[in-house]
């Protein structure tokens, strides 16, 4: 039986690849394995960043395999339980305490956009990407948090335009809207994601974790609450080996080498 999720680690970056080319559907088995894998990566101190991608160069993901929905209800007990798992997994990605990067290419539809929306960085192919939440065309609505996360990413009006019209956008428009941070040719998209992952992995681990806890989900917190989160991050990083290394490197006019303690 083909493994639904391929996991590899290189230079402190874990790559999680959907293994269902060419469409890379997020099957029931994929979600089960992903839910088992994420807590392990959270605990693994050798992993400091995560790349979410998919096999091949055709599509990142067309989202859930809709033909499996009746089976999912039978497995999980209800339709809500199927959706709850997917919301739970995406929330786990967002709050893992480690930065995540998603690669968007080909079809990135439904869950194929909702998972990247839970990541902290998104890169897209400069050509060929079709990115959207087309559930309206099926008489339905996004069910994995897309209607909650997309407005926080691109603003209310852009989110309404994409969701209510079932509109698909390409990489260039996604960059203009702020949905992705970079676009690049598909041939180097995964390489670029690895490069950014390695750059993030070199940053001081506790400082990255503290900033993720401060910034992720700030929209739902008051300024006072966010300031308290920031102060907690200050206490978390003060006096650490990385803080000492950063100061030494500044005084010695060299690049710091962080995370030596782990």
pLDDT in tens, 119-165: 999 999 999 999 999 998 888 899 899 999 999 999 999 999 999 99
Alpha-carbon span 105 to 4, nearest angstrom:
19
Alpha-carbon span 210 to 214, nearest angstrom:
6
176 and 222 share one domain:
no
Burial class (CB in 10 A: 0-12, 13-18, 19+), 152: middle
pLDDT at residue number 247: 73
Residue 262 lies in a domain: no
Alpha-carbon span 142 to 102, nearest angstrom:
19
161 and 82 share one domain:
yes
111 and 171 share one domain:
yes
Tokens 């290394």 locate to 245
Domain count, the chain: 2
Residue 260 lies in a domain: no
CB 73 within 8 A of CB 84: no
Q: Give yes or no: 36 in active site.
A: no
**Residue 130, number of CB atoms within 10 A of its CB:** 20
69 and 194 share one domain:
yes
pLDDT at residue number 226: 60
160 and 208 share one domain:
no
DSSP the chain: ---SEEEEEETTEEEEEE--TTTT-B-HHHHHHHHHHHHHHHH-TT--EEEEEESSSS-SB--B-GGGHHHHHHHHSSHHHHHHHHHHHHHHHHTSSS-EEEEE-SEEETHHHHHHHHSSEEEEESSS-EEE-GGGGGT----SSHHHHHHHHH-HHHHHHHHHTT--B-HHHHHHHTS-SEEE-HHHHHHHHHHHHHHHHHS-HHHHHHHHHHHTTGGGS-HHHHHHHHHHHHHHHTT-HHHHHHHHHHHTTS-----TT-
Within its chain, how far is the Cα of 72 from the centroid?
Answer: 24
Residue 257 lies in a domain: no
Query: Residue 72: which domain range?
Result: 5-201
Residue 158 lies in a domain: yes
61 and 82 share one domain:
yes
152 and 215 share one domain:
no
pLDDT at residue number 221: 65
Residue 29 lies in a domain: yes
Q: Which one of 35, 45, 71, 135 is the catalytic residue?
A: 135
173 and 217 share one domain:
no
Residue 105 lies in a domain: yes
Q: Give yes or no: 135 in active site.
A: yes
pLDDT at residue number 250: 72
Stretches in the chain below the pLDDT threshold 50 = 262
Residue 210 lies in a domain: yes
160 and 227 share one domain:
no
143 and 224 share one domain:
no
User: Tens digits of per-residue pLDDT, 186-213?
Assistant: 999 999 999 999 999 999 999 999 989 9
Residue 259 lies in a domain: no
212 and 227 share one domain:
yes
Question: How does strand 121-125 pair with strand 130-132?
Answer: unpaired
Q: For position 181, which CATH number holds?
A: 3.90.226.10
pLDDT at residue number 68: 93
Q: Which one of 36, 71, 114, 252 is the catalytic residue?
A: 114
């Amino acid at each position: 039986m083909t493994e639904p999720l391929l996991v590899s680690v290189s230079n402190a970056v874990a790559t999680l690849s959907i293994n269902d080319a060419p469409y890379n559907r997020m099957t029931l088995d994929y979600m089960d394995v992903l839910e088992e894998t994420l807590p392990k990566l959270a605990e693994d101190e050798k992993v400091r960043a995560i790349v979410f991608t998919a096999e091949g160069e055709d599509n990142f993901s067309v989202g859930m395999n809709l033909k499996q929905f009746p089976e999912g209800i039978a497995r999980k007990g209800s339709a809500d339980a199927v959706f709850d798992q997917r919301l739970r997994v995406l929330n786990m990605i967002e709050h893992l305490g480690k930065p995540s990067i998603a690669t968007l290419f080909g079809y990135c539809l439904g869950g194929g956009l909702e998972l990247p929306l839970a990541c902290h960085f998104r890169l897209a192919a400069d050509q060929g990407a079709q990115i959207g939440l087309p559930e309206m065309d099926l008489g339905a609505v996004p069910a994995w948090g897309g209607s909650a996360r997309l407005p926080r990413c691109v603003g209310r009006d852009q989110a309404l335009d994409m969701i209510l019209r079932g509109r698909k956008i390409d990489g260039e428009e996604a960059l203009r809207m702020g949905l992705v941070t970079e676009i690049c040719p598909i041939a180097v998209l995964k390489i670029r994601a690895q490069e950014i992952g390695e750059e993030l992995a070199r940053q001081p681990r506790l400082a990255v974790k503290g900033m993720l806890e401060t910034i992720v989900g700030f929209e739902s917190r008051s300024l006072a609450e966010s300031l308290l989160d920031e102060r907690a991050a200050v206490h978390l990083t003060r006096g650490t080996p990385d803080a000492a290394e950063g100061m030494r490197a500044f005084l010695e006019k060299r690049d710091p080498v962080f995370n030596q303690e782990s």
